[in-house]
Amino acid sequence: MCLFLKSTFSVDTNYVEELTEEENNFLNKSILWEGKTPLLKSKLYKGLYFKNEGSNPAGSFKDRESSFVFKILDRYWKLNNKELLVVSSGNAAISAILYGNYFDTKVKVLVSRSIWSHKLDILRKLWANVEIVGDDYEETYRYVVENHDLYSDYINITAWISDWRDEANKLISYESVEQLWWKEIDYVIVPIWNGWCFWGVYKWFWEMKKSWLIDKIPYIIWVQVKNASPIDMSVQLWIENYEIWKGKVVDSVADGIVARESYCSPKVLEVIKRNHGEIITVDENEIKDWYEIFLKEWLLVEYTSAVVYSVYKKQEEKFSWKRVVAIITWNWQKLL
Do residue 51 and residue 93 come from a single domain? no
How many other CB atoms are there within 10 angstroms of residue 30's CB atom? 13
Residue ranges making up the domain that contains 188: 31-59+164-335
- CATH classification of the domain holding 94: 3.40.50.1100
Domain's final residue, options 132, 156, 180: 156
* Residue 12: per-residue pLDDT: 35
Q: What one-character-per-residue DSSP string does 44-70 give?
A: SSTTEEEEEGGGSTTSBTHHHHHHHHH
Give the torsion sign (CA, 176, 177, 178, 184): positive
* Residue 259: per-residue pLDDT: 82
Q: Are 317 and 45 in contact (CB under 8 A)?
A: no
Distance CA 100, CA 58 (A): 13
Distance CA 31, CA 326 (A): 25
Do residue 97 and residue 49 come from a single domain? no
Do residue 202 and residue 260 come from a single domain? yes
Q: Are 305 and 54 in contact (CB under 8 A)?
A: yes
3-class secondary-structure state, position 40: strand
Do residue 144 and residue 231 come from a single domain? no
Chain length of the chain: 336
* Residue 90: per-residue pLDDT: 86
Count the domains in the chain. Answer: 3
Domain's final residue, options 104, 122, 156: 156
* Residue 8: per-residue pLDDT: 43
Domain's final residue, options 156, 174, 193: 156
Do residue 125 and residue 147 come from a single domain? yes
* Residue 291: per-residue pLDDT: 84
* Residue 6: per-residue pLDDT: 46
In order along its 336 residues, the chain shows pLDDT tens digits of 555 554 443 333 333 456 677 877 888 888 999 999 999 999 999 999 999 998 999 988 999 999 998 988 888 766 667 789 999 988 899 999 999 999 989 999 999 998 888 889 999 999 999 999 998 888 898 899 899 899 988 989 887 776 778 888 889 999 999 999 999 999 999 998 777 677 888 988 998 898 888 999 999 999 989 888 888 888 888 777 777 766 677 778 777 788 887 777 788 888 888 889 999 999 998 888 888 888 888 887 878 888 998 899 889 999 999 999 999 877 655 545
Distance CA 164, CA 324 (A): 27
* Residue 13: per-residue pLDDT: 37
